[in-house]
Amino acid sequence: MIAYLDNAATTKASENVYNKMSSVFLTDFGNPSSMHKLGMDAEMYIKESKDVISKILKCEASEIVFTSGGTESNNMALIGSALANNRKGKHIITTKMEHASVYNPLLFLESLGYEISFAPVDKEGHVIIDSLRDLVRDDTILVSVMFVNNEIGSVNDIAAVSKAIKAKNPNVIFHVDAIQAFGKMNVVPKNFGIDLMSVSGHKILGPKGSGFLYIKKGIKVKPIIHGGGQEKGMRSGTENVPAIAGLGTAAKDAYDDLDANREHMYELKERLIRGLLEIDGLQVHTFGKSGEEIADLREKILKTAPHVVSCGFEGLSRSEVLLHALEEKGVYVSSGSACSSNHPDISGTLTAIGTENRYLNSTLRFSFAATTTAEEIDYALECLKELLPVLRKYTKH
């Protein structure tokens, strides 16, 4: 049996997405900048996807800029807005548990003379809003806070964050990495006070290499890719029409069935956590340790994202040992975010929430999609119960 539980890294494209993209690749393959019919047909796919996404976000289609994915969207938002607004100041605030595609662009800006401040988070992975507000100054131009943490699934109170920072400095631009939130919850920017918002397509059964940046009308962002002036000059380069069409299809499908999909994933999450807590010697991050009775578990789960569970296993020297043992049995998980796996240092997220040392190097992330089944969860738990005693026996202490 195969149990694919690494959907926060990437999802499998849906059949609807595959069919839509195949049509564009093989039939409507024109360059959307061309003046002939094939070009205009290709351009229609871009317009249709913008219309779909703008309706979901309740914004104008002109506020959507298509990108190659979440990393580019975050880079465009952070670097582009910082460069466009540097006369107002060079102070930027973020948190201690952001994705690498936020953290590293900010390090780049720091090398250009910008000052970066980091707001702390609580033990459940929420930014401490009072501490964040205290960091805001007259020369603060940008605040970046993720909506859903990609490693542990905590959900920030984005509306409260926006209200707090803008009460202190109304001119601050508020960027939100919504890559793990879009498609899992309603993320209407105007309802949350969001100025810039990054989204990726391959987290919602869409294609890799697709994404967009929401830019609120009136927010100044300098383009970081220059060329032929596509996307109204914000993102030059021939548009990836198949990916854009696939992204629009995936977004529509995700929000057409949002409530049912969320409930399904929450049921899977509860099933997995309850099963994990029956296994000796582990910590389900932000939930509890094995053997603990958690009377309000369902209530706690509903306050988190529906699709991510992070668990540390005692008695293992490295998470990759268990990861590869599970892989041999057809269970696919991750040892953190897929991007951070390229840099196997201690997780900034786990460190920020105060995770005990014995779990820092032995944490796995399980993540679901609407297509994940209860059978996959049960099989993963069965494999864990079989493998852990053996691996612990041979781990050197």
Residues labelled as active-site residues: 339
d(CA 24, CA 43): 11
Residue 265, CA atoms < 13 Å, CB-side half-sphere: 28
d(CA 346, CA 45): 43
Pairing of the two strands 282-284 and 288-289: antiparallel
Helix axes 241-256 and 15-26, enclosed angle (nearest 10): 150
d(CA 298, CA 284): 14
Whether residue 315 contacts residue 390, with contact meaning beta carbons closer than 8 Å, is answered with no
d(CA 92, CA 83): 12
**Which residue is it, tokens 């569970």?**
309
User: Of the candidates 133, 121, 119, 128, which has an alpha carbon nearest to the alpha carbon of residue 165?
Assistant: 133
Residue 227 phi, psi dihedral angles, 5° rounding: 170, -120
- Counting every residue, how long is the chain? 397
**For the purposes of burial, counting CB atoms within 10 Å of the CB of 390, is it exposed (0-12), middle (13-18) or buried (19 or more)?**
exposed
The string of DSSP letters for 180-247 reads TTBTTB---HHHHT-SEEEEESTTTT--TT-EEEEE-TT-----SS-SS-TGGGTS-S---HHHHHHH
User: Of the candidates 8, 4, 2, 1, which has an alpha carbon nearest to the alpha carbon of residue 306?
Assistant: 8
User: Of the candidates 363, 368, 354, which has an alpha carbon nearest to the alpha carbon of residue 125?
Assistant: 354
The kind and range of the H/E element at 382 are: helix 374-393
